[in-house]
Amino acid sequence: MAGHEILGRLREQASKLIGDNVLTMAAHGIAPGPASDPEKQWWNLPAKYKAAERIKGEMLRDYPGRNDAGDAARHAELSRRMTAEIDPMTASVAGWAHEAENLLPPLPPRVTRQLPEGLRAHIEDNWHAEGWPELRMDLHNNAVGVDAGLHGRPIDPRKLQTRP
C-alpha cells in the first residue's frame, strides 16, 4: 500500500471517528462549542476554568454576604451564569466541588505559611468547615441557578434558601 493510500485511510478513519463522536455527543445533548467560544468546548477545561473564575469574581463583588439573601443570590446567579456561559455540567461540578471543599477544616497557620501564595489564598477563602446545613442550603441555591440557566430565565428569589 502506497503512502498516499495509508494517509487516505487514516484520514477516512479519523473523519469517521470524529463524526461518530459528534453524533454520540449530539444524542446526549452535548454540542462541541464554536471556536469563538472556547469555554463551551466540552474538552477545553482551561478555558472553562478561566471563565468560571471570571464569573466567580464578578459574583463575589456584586453579591456580598454569608448565610443571607446576598449569599443565596450569589450561589444561584453564579450557577445560572456558568450554566448559560459555559455549560450545566461545569456549573454543577464546580458547585459540588466548592461545597465539598468547604467541609474541610482550616489548616493551622504554621502549615498555610509554607504554601505558595495562590494556594494559601485559595484555602483561606474556601475552607470554612461550614457543616451540613450550610452545604445543603448552598447546593439548593446552586441547583436553582442551574435550572434557571437551563431554561434561560432569571433567578426567582422566592425559590432561594437564605438561612441554613
Average pLDDT over residues 20-48: 69
**What are the angstrom distances between the C-alpha of 54 and each of 47, 138, 142?**
11, 20, 17
Q: What is the pTM (predicted TM-score) of this model?
A: 0.71
pLDDT for 19:
55
Q: How confident is the model at residue 73 (pLDDT cuts 50, 70, 90)?
A: very high
pLDDT for 116:
87
- The Cα–Cα gap between 5 and 11 comes to 10
pLDDT for 132:
87
